[in-house]
A = this chain, B = another copy of it.
Amino acid sequence: MEKPYVFGIDMGGTGTKFGIVDARGNVLKSFSIPTPQYPDIEEYCDVLCTEMKRMAEEFGGMDQVRGVGAGTPNGNYYTGNIEYAPNLPWKGVVPFAKMISERMGVPCRITNDANAAAMGEMTYGAARGMKNFIEITLGTGVGSGIVVDGKVLYGHDGFAGELGHTKIVRGPEARQCGCGAKGCLEAYASATGVARSAKEIVSNSSKETSLRQLDIDRITSYDVFKAAEAGDEVAKEIFDFTGRLLGEKLADFIAFSAPEAIIFFGGLTKSGHWIMDPIEQTMNECVLPIWKNKVKVLVSTLKDSDAAILGASSLVWDVEALSPMKS
């Protein structure tokens, strides 16, 4: 009989969540440890694996566990390494998959966060049954997982799908992005980007807006959402600006991989139609006639709290992807 469980790990700069998952996508139990508390990667792996084994005991022990999947910052699917992740305590190249696999005695596969979300979406979410789609994660940054013919696109080196760092604004007024370049989509369409837009738009206009009552340097995308819901025109304008930039860029993405759908995941999607409507409208204005009103724009149906764990776990359910490790 196939082993019935897998572990999914969602590694972030502040915390590492992990859980044991069954084949139907139920996170049966989850737990978390604070990432920065373990500056020594060996100790981090020891603690993480001790906790996972303890959890496994409640479900019949490691004999019942098929493998471990992890979504990590800068995780490389091909090598199993975490490579030069700026927001993690461990510098350089960390052979994470190997370290976990050795400790757990089962295969471990890793990928980056957005690819994990795409895998989760395909296995358990809005992309079930789809073979060609793009998952865009709108959070602190803008990530993406591109699925082609039912497989995540990794490219020559394992780093494909960095759509947050394609350019949406050119010229001297382009915003500085955290990656070092200017004008990246991430500098506009992330939660942070929306906050920057709010600051710019509020500062550069004299229009009446409830946002002016807030500390302009601490406005969040959630503040803008609340204002839009209350009828604030400037707040609506901020989402419209963001959505239009995203929509323009989606047209480029469609010309690349002709997906069936583009699926949005992450905090900013909670702004609902305020951002989704201008995205979809602008996308359809900008695509080639063959794609007008044909590409679905969807919001993820993955539960926020479990999505990253589920996505990571689905790396292990994928039999084809695991087969090279069976030998």
Contact = CB atoms under 8 A, between A and B. Distances in A.
A167 B256 contact: no
Interface stretch (A89-97, A257-265, A304-312): A257-265
A275 to B, nearest CB: 20
A158 interface: yes
Interface in A151-174: 151, 153-163, 165-167, 169-170
Interface of A: 83-84, 131-132, 146, 148-149, 151, 153-163, 165-167, 169-170, 179-181, 248, 251-253, 255-260, 286, 288-291, 294
A287 to B, nearest CB: 8
B155 A258 contact: yes
B256 A161 contact: yes
Contact of A286 (B151, B167, B252): B167
B165 A255 contact: yes
A263 to B, nearest CB: 13
Contacts of A149: 151
A180 B286 CA distance: 10
A160 B140 CA distance: 30
Contacts of A290: 83-84, 157, 159
Given A180-B289, A252-B166, A289-B180, A259 B131 contact: no
24 contacts: A83-B290, A146-B256, A148-B148, A148-B153, A148-B155, A153-B256, A154-B258, A156-B258, A156-B259, A157-B290, A158-B258, A160-B257, A161-B256, A161-B258, A163-B255, A163-B256, A165-B255, A167-B248, A167-B251, A170-B170, A170-B248, A179-B288, A179-B289, A252-B252
